[in-house]
Chain A
Amino acid sequence: MYRSQSKARQNNGVAPFIAAFVFAALFCCAQAFGASPDLNLDSNGLALRGYDPVSYFSDNRAERGKSGISAEHGGATYYFANENNRDEFLREPRLYEPHYGGFCAYGVAVGQKFDGDPEVFAIVEGKLYLQLDRATQTLWKAELNKNIAIADRTWPVIKPIPAAALNE
């Protein structure tokens, strides 16, 4: 995700957290017209890389959606495998949206916004969590409750900050 946005100009490794917050506030203003930084979208504003968000819950598997069956919600485009899934999604989108905006759940726990792989997912207590890859998922699952708890605390902090800014 961050590669489609402005790259880090310099490696400011020792920048304090407050500075990051100031940066984040500036970026939020600057990006008011663009894609919101709290969702993991591709350059076309597509969420979940085109996977059907409803299939995870109905079939417990990742299924590619069709570009012909799509819906807009909260500034993101979703593709669906069939019309029923779309209707189901539009009825109550909050139930089916990926948690942490579709970013890697383990990354969010450590204050990073990494791309979540739609193929590497887990449904915990009715919420869809994506992971960077299977290695990350293994680490995440080892301390599942702890990681979710930490990430839930971290997410509101990093939510408005663009991914690139987190690595300044």
Chain B
Amino acid sequence: MSNPHSHPDWTVHPVRLTSISTRYLMRFVPIILVIFTILISIYGTIAYREAISSLESKLDTLVSRQSLLMGEAVAESRNDRIGLLVAQTIADRDVATIAVLDNSGAALNKYGTMPDVNAPLTRAVAINYMGDNSFKRVGTLVISMSKEPAVERLTYTLFCIALLGIALLAAASVAAHLVLRTTVSQPLDKMLTAIRIQRESGARIPIDWDSEDQIGQVVSAYNALQLRQTKTESDLTRLRVKAERAHQSKSDFVGRVIDELRTPLNSIVGFSEIVSSQRFGPDTIHRYLSYAGNINQAARHLLYLIENVLDLTRLEGGEVEPVFAPVKVEMLLRRAENTASSLSRNKGVRLTVNPPTPGYALNVDAELIGTLLGKLLENALRHTPDDGKVELTFVVSPGGTASFTVHDTGKSIPEAEIERLLIPLAVSREIDERRFHGTGLSLPICKMLAEMHGGTLEITNPSTGGSAVSLLLPPSRVTETPEIDPSTGGDVNPSPNHRASSASVQHLHGPV
């Protein structure tokens, strides 16, 4: 946009601010003034007509009465009495002129100029005198009235009404201003202040205004909006931090995987070089055979690592879809025991699977739980020192939570590392070398498998020594009596979607 003020100018100018009440009064006052003027004009017109009409009726009565009163005086030509009656008549301020004429038309007495009989507000009446037998006409009385005094009175009345109206308007304006200030201007000022503060410092201050009207609704809506905005911003910040952390851990993971891969590759390269170049001469076949064993072991470890990375990637990518079906617990334990018995272990390490309370069945994916338990046992067997003991136990807590616990007699795990054990390859190098060399992936895989079933993985250091890893399954997974035949329960044909996972599981179960 070419307009430099392309966005609305939200800057608040306290000095230039035109208040609502001023704007309201600037419209209210002229409208009321116009209405008031119209009303006064209408009233004035009606009152004027009323006044003229009442003046005419008063003139009628006056001229009639005076003609009756003057009858005798005119008949007897008593000028002093005529003068008295004329004087009495003109005492009324509305009377402009009066003339008493005899039958010849000559004025016997008058006040003011002789008025035109046909002029408005002028009356001429015969003066009759009652004789002994009959009446006779003795003269004419002409009276005219002036409307000026009446108009003057009317003008004064209108002026008083106008003054009263203006006073009323002023009072109404003041009242309207006060009411507007308390109901509209104050909350608006508070809102503007809050907006200005937010613009200047970014702080979101809730507006303290409580009323039921529209302003109150606007204020509470504004407050709610601000609250939501604050929440959204904090959510965004948290998500950004989380994303950054995830990115960081991904990079770390890749770095560690490469590191992990380099170690066995180095041995393979080193030993195979020695063997291929026959560095120690052709006679030491025994030694070369031992190196070949080393190469094999390193290659297997490499394979194991790569398979785990692949498993993890598949699980993380959501490629593995669990198929839930009720399975007897005994079957799961047997399967795990079978897997574990084929694994290499240190000398004299005993594996014990405690028989569970019969009758329990779980609604789980038997393949995945079998893999999970196998991995837990493998993990324990690998790192339990000579003459140690590994125990697998199934318990259902009173709350209904089912738990498989693998307990070994190896070294306990530092508290600080427990959480890191569940993050792929995040466990510190030192711990890893000592206890879990090359296995930084199997516990995170187990954790993901557990989460697929709505369960969790719990690592503890029991007071009896060693360490314990427990798979906790929620009560909803426990079915007391299997609904289908136990012999087929665990052997559900994998769906095509399941094939990927079963393939990976086969790898996991492969020889190490």
Q: What is the interface of chain A, defined by CB distance below 8 A to chain B?
A: 3, 7-8, 10-11, 13-14, 104, 106-107, 109-112, 114-115, 117, 132-133, 135-136, 139, 150, 153-154, 166-167
Contacts and interface: CB of A to CB of B under 8 A. Distances in A.
A107 B140 contact: no
Contacts of B101: 13
A109 B130 contact: yes
A142 to B, nearest CB: 12
A106 to B, nearest CB: 6
Contacts of B129: 110
Interface residues of B, number: 28
Contacts of B117: 8, 10-11
B128 A133 contact: no
A104 B64 contact: yes
A110 B68 contact: yes
B2 interface: no
Most buried by A among B101, B103, B134: B134
B3 interface: no
Given A14-B105, A110-B128, A112-B68, 20 more contacts: A8-B117, A11-B105, A13-B126, A14-B103, A109-B130, A110-B71, A110-B130, A112-B64, A112-B126, A112-B128, A114-B68, A115-B61, A132-B61, A133-B61, A135-B69, A136-B65, A150-B135, A153-B134, A167-B126, A167-B140
Interface of B: 56, 60-61, 64-65, 67-69, 71, 101, 103-105, 117-118, 124-126, 128-130, 133-135, 137, 139-140, 142
Contacts of B118: 7
B68 A167 contact: no
Most buried by A among B56, B101, B118, B137: B137
Contacts of A150: 130, 135
A139 B64 CA distance: 14
B68 A132 contact: yes
A112 B124 contact: no
B160 to A, nearest CB: 30
Most buried by A among B64, B67, B133: B64
B126 A139 contact: no
B67 A3 contact: no
A13 B128 contact: no
Contacts of B125: 112, 167
B140 A11 contact: yes
A3 B126 contact: no
Contacts of B135: 109-111, 150, 154
23 contacts: A3-B56, A3-B60, A7-B118, A10-B117, A11-B117, A11-B124, A106-B68, A107-B64, A107-B68, A109-B135, A110-B128, A110-B129, A111-B134, A112-B67, A112-B128, A114-B68, A132-B64, A132-B68, A135-B65, A135-B69, A153-B133, A167-B126, A167-B140
Most buried by A among B68, B101, B117, B142: B68
A13 B99 CA distance: 14
B49 to A, nearest CB: 15
B64 A166 contact: no
Contacts of B67: 112
A11 B139 CA distance: 11
Contacts, number: 74
B138 to A, nearest CB: 10
Nearest first, the 3 A-B pairs at minimum CB distance are A110-B128, A111-B135, A114-B64
Contacts of A111: 128, 130, 134-135, 137
Given A106-B68, A112-B125, A139-B68, A13 B134 contact: no
Contacts of B60: 3, 115
A45 B64 CA distance: 22
B69 A154 contact: no
A65 B67 CA distance: 31
Contacts of B140: 11, 13, 167
B162 to A, nearest CB: 34
A104 B65 CA distance: 10
Contacts of B124: 8, 11, 167
Most buried by B among A111, A139, A154: A111
A112 B129 CA distance: 10
B65 A133 contact: yes
B29 to A, nearest CB: 43
Nearest to A151: B130
A136 B66 CA distance: 9
Nearest to B123: A3
A159 B461 CA distance: 138
A104 B129 CA distance: 15
A110 B65 CA distance: 12
B145 to A, nearest CB: 13
A154 B142 CA distance: 24
Contacts of A14: 103-105
A111 B104 CA distance: 20
Nearest to A158: B135
A35 B410 CA distance: 137
B379 to A, nearest CB: 112
Nearest to B135: A111
A154 B65 contact: no
A136 B68 contact: yes
A106 B137 CA distance: 15
Contacts of A112: 64, 67-68, 125-126, 128
A113 B126 CA distance: 11
A151 B128 CA distance: 13
Contacts of A117: 61
A115 B68 contact: no
A158 B125 CA distance: 15
Nearest to B105: A13
A52 B190 CA distance: 70
Most buried by A among B101, B125, B126: B126
A14 B102 CA distance: 9
A168 to B, nearest CB: 8
Contact of B134 (A3, A136, A154): A154
Contacts of A114: 64, 68
A35 to B, nearest CB: 17
A3 B124 CA distance: 11
A73 B137 CA distance: 34
A106 B124 CA distance: 19
